[in-house]
Amino acid sequence: MARTGVIICHCGSNIASVVDVERVALAAGQMPGVTYAATNKYTCSISGQDMIKQAIAEHELDRLVIASCTPRMHETTFRKMLTKTSINPYMLEIANIREQCSWVHTDKEKATEKAIDLVHMAVAKVLKDQPLFTSSIPVHKKCLVVGGGIAGIQAALDVAEAGYEVTLVEREPSIGGKMVMLDKTFPTLDCSACISTPKMAEAGAHPNIRLMTSCEISAVTGYIGNFQVTIRQKPRYVNHDTCTGCGLCEEKCPTKVTNLFDQSLSKRKAIYKLFPQAVPAKPVIDSEHCTMLKSGKCGLCSKLCPLGCINFEDQEDFITETFGAIVLATGYDLIDWAKAYPEYGGGKYANVISGLQFERLVNASGPTEGHIQRPGDGAEPKTVVIVKCVGSRDPAKAKAYCSRACCMYAAKHAHQILEKIEGSKVYVFYIDVRTPGKGYEEFYDKTRADGAVYIRGRVSKIYEEGGKLICKGEDTLIGKQVAVEADMVVLETAMEPAHGSTETAATAGVSADKDGWLTEAHPKLRPVETQTAGVYLCGTAQGPKDIPDTVAQASAAAAKVLGLLAKDELETSPMISVVDAPKCSGCGFCEQVCPVKAISMVDVPSMYNGKRVTRTVAQVNSGLCSGCGACSAACRTGCIDLLGFTNKQILEEVDALWQE
């Protein structure tokens, strides 16, 4: 027989001035299963809690109803208190007679009646409470960072510095990402490589960081603290354990290939390092272009390598490891503007280039050693048109969103042209100029003072006539059509999620929005977390942003990871779903409605008509279940139930007022 204790709180006069608490206590004392009912002036106070503890001991209570303020206020307080008593902390129900009764009603008689009803419902529910126990899951103190751009590097370094092991996975042969392609960074104009390559080197040499380049994640199972991740190591054809990176192979390789790192503005070899400061500083073979791998002829590198590092038989490899936390820093790509903008020539004019191509042109380690030359003929352009929002803020052609960084790097490009080419002219076509950032507006002002001409309007067409690129558009400030004859046009194109990033994220249980940017758990309050506990986001994987924001977010993600890895064990809420397997039909309805993929259909041995058979039933992963109860409402039999809010408990609450 249950021995329920009911405590009615006065909350000073907050409750007692409207609700006749003594009458409620009297009524509660008459309810079935109630052994003890009393009032208390301030139940949440130390003395109030002591009184409860005493009552529990004295009356041998085995469950408790507290009628007080909202459970959202003190449920945790009282659960904590119960851990010091003989009652299980989950054998507690709270009747909300303050926020949902005394504060919202004025008629004392009716408010008292309602309070009695609410206590009655809580008593009915508590009678069906079961002791629940938090379980703990061990935390594997190791972090996986996916993506080796500046976001991934920063997150990896922060976690590694705190003393935890990090594996940094990058699909390219070197870490560095997009930042290392850039020449200078706005608004300070410090050299991008000068500030990013030391970070790369640090990551490459850090004792706590394991770099895995030319790798991709192919599968993720498990849950927070315990993710089993399968990493696919693509064949490199060069043994990186023995290679010293002497570079002889690359020098002698006879096959020349378009260099994508230089945005197709130069050639590289079929055995290559991504760029001179690559980390690791060792080459790989491009299997698509190597003549040996394609047709079995050549093998020059293999003959020349003094250490015999070349292995044409290299195969892909799968490595499975356990991680406690995952950071997704999968970055961005620029849109294929040629497809979206045939009116800009659709790629047929060599001197219409993207902003990233310009970065390579102006970069001292780029194909022109930093001299701004037209890709078409190598001439120095005197008049340059910069077009902003190519694909951004243009839902009819490409993306509806703003790519955030372009306003600033457009100003930077204008500044660089004016600085490097004497007597040059720069025209910037824009929709708006957005410069929210420290020193940003000042930089934009300076660029205009330097002589950049800003024209408010979109460019409607670019065509070549008489060796010039004619950029037609409208100057919306004066309402006139304008045409600028340019030697070169730089298109500041929209960012889009890196190809394959949504698939990679889906592997880790993270969803993407309609544009493919990965979705954070809450846009304001949980910006680096995801719906999957233990998986975090940072950098442009989450949405377009510039380098300062990217790095800040990477450190934020690292802080979240550290908060997790600092724990030896995670306490899991016991209020999760459980399956009554023998009754489960295996229809999979619960699996369909689960928001966190905590339910899987598994084969279990079973008995059927006296025979041993294998049946498929639902199984809940207690590490993943978030306790929403959608499964429970979906199940027709009622064989999957949410502990703490069971079908029986809710039915009892509904029935409570009508029981004789």
Which residues from 180-239 bind other proteins, rule CB under 8 A? Answer: none
Smaller CB separation from other proteins, 456 or 615 = 615
User: For residues 638 and 400, what is the distance between their CA atoms, to the nearest angstrom?
Assistant: 45
Q: Minimum Å distance from CB 70 to other proteins?
A: 5
User: For residues 259 and 80, what is the distance between their CA atoms, to the nearest angstrom?
Assistant: 62
Which residues from 431-450 bind other proteins, rule CB under 8 A? Answer: none
Under the criterion CB under 8 A, does residue 600 sit at the interface with other proteins? no
Beta bridge pairs of residue 649: none
Under the criterion CB under 8 A, does residue 387 sit at the interface with other proteins? no
Residue choice 445, 506, 595, 602 for contact with other proteins (CB under 8 A): 595
User: For residues 206 and 199, what is the distance between their CA atoms, to the nearest angstrom?
Assistant: 10
Smaller CB separation from other proteins, 512 or 601 = 601
Which residues from 142-171 bind other proteins, rule CB under 8 A? Answer: none
Residue choice 166, 584, 624, 640 for contact with other proteins (CB under 8 A): 584
Which residues from 459-518 bind other proteins, rule CB under 8 A? Answer: 461, 463-466, 470
Under the criterion CB under 8 A, does residue 586 sit at the interface with other proteins? yes
Residue choice 256, 294, 526, 583 for contact with other proteins (CB under 8 A): 583
**Which tokens is 495 given?**
């960012």
Q: Minimum Å distance from CB 403 to other proteins?
A: 21
Q: Minimum Å distance from CB 461 to other proteins?
A: 7
Residue choice 26, 132, 431, 628 for contact with other proteins (CB under 8 A): 628
- DSSP reduced 3-state for 12: coil
Choose the stretch contacting other proteins; rule: CB under 8 A; options: 241-249, 429-437, 485-493, 630-638.
Answer: 630-638
Residue with tokens 């824009």: 430
Which residues from 515-554 bind other proteins, rule CB under 8 A? Answer: 531
Smaller CB separation from other proteins, 343 or 568 = 343
Of 234, 236, 219, which Cα lies nearest the Cα of 144?
219
What DSSP string describes 137-201? EE---EEEEE--SHHHHHHHHHHHHTT-EEEEE-SSSSS-TTGGG-SEETTTTEEHHHHHHHHHH
Residue 112 near residue 83 (C-beta atoms within 8 A): no
Under the criterion CB under 8 A, does residue 638 sit at the interface with other proteins? yes
Q: Minimum Å distance from CB 602 to other proteins?
A: 12
Which residues from 316-375 bind other proteins, rule CB under 8 A? Answer: 341-343, 346, 348
Residue 101 near residue 115 (C-beta atoms within 8 A): yes
Q: Are strands 92-96 and 63-68 parallel, antiparallel or unpaired?
A: parallel
Choose the stretch contacting other proteins; rule: CB under 8 A; options: 290-298, 434-442, 562-570, 577-585.
Answer: 577-585
Smaller CB separation from other proteins, 18 or 455 = 18
User: For residues 592 and 587, what is the distance between their CA atoms, to the nearest angstrom?
Assistant: 10
Smaller CB separation from other proteins, 264 or 616 = 616
**Which tokens is 450 given?**
């330097």
User: For residues 11 and 190, what is the distance between their CA atoms, to the nearest angstrom?
Assistant: 61
Tell me, what amino acid is at 237?
Y
Under the criterion CB under 8 A, does residue 593 sit at the interface with other proteins? yes
Residue choice 17, 47, 54, 70 for contact with other proteins (CB under 8 A): 70
Which residues from 601-620 bind other proteins, rule CB under 8 A? Answer: 601, 608, 611, 613-616
Cβ neighbours of 436 (radius 10 Å): 9
Q: Minimum Å distance from CB 648 to other proteins?
A: 5
Q: Minimum Å distance from CB 431 to other proteins?
A: 19
* Residues written for the chain: 660
Under the criterion CB under 8 A, does residue 57 sit at the interface with other proteins? no
Residue choice 99, 161, 202, 450 for contact with other proteins (CB under 8 A): 99
Under the criterion CB under 8 A, does residue 51 sit at the interface with other proteins? no
Under the criterion CB under 8 A, does residue 558 sit at the interface with other proteins? no
Smaller CB separation from other proteins, 297 or 636 = 636
User: For residues 413 and 408, what is the distance between their CA atoms, to the nearest angstrom?
Assistant: 9
- DSSP reduced 3-state for 62: coil
Give the up-direction half-sphere exposure of residue 322: CA atoms within 13 A in the CB hemisphere. Answer: 9
Under the criterion CB under 8 A, does residue 639 sit at the interface with other proteins? yes
Which residues from 640-659 bind other proteins, rule CB under 8 A? Answer: 642, 645-648, 650-651, 653-655, 657-659
Cβ neighbours of 116 (radius 10 Å): 25
Smaller CB separation from other proteins, 250 or 475 = 475
Q: Which residues does 652 contact at the CB level (< 8 Å), separation at least 6?
A: 124, 125, 127, 128
Choose the stretch contacting other proteins; rule: CB under 8 A; options: 157-165, 188-196, 283-291, 591-599.
Answer: 591-599
Report the phi/psi class of residue 76: left, alpha or beta, with left for phi > 0 and alpha for psi in -120 to 50.
alpha
Residue with tokens 């600092």: 566
Smaller CB separation from other proteins, 84 or 583 = 583
Of 481, 483, 453, 488, which Cα lies nearest the Cα of 470?
483
Site map (CB under 8 A) of other proteins, residues 100-119, x = contact: xx-xxxxx--xx-xx--xx-
- At residue 590, φ and ψ (nearest 5 deg) are -60, -40
Distance (Å) of CA 7 to CA 26, 72, 124, 220, 611: 11, 17, 15, 48, 53
Q: Minimum Å distance from CB 628 to other proteins?
A: 4
Q: Minimum Å distance from CB 260 to other proteins?
A: 26
Smaller CB separation from other proteins, 371 or 615 = 615
What's the longest Cα–Cα distance across the chain?
A: 101
Q: Minimum Å distance from CB 138 to other proteins?
A: 26
Number of residues that bind other proteins (CB under 8 A): 78
User: For residues 486 and 469, what is the distance between their CA atoms, to the nearest angstrom?
Assistant: 5
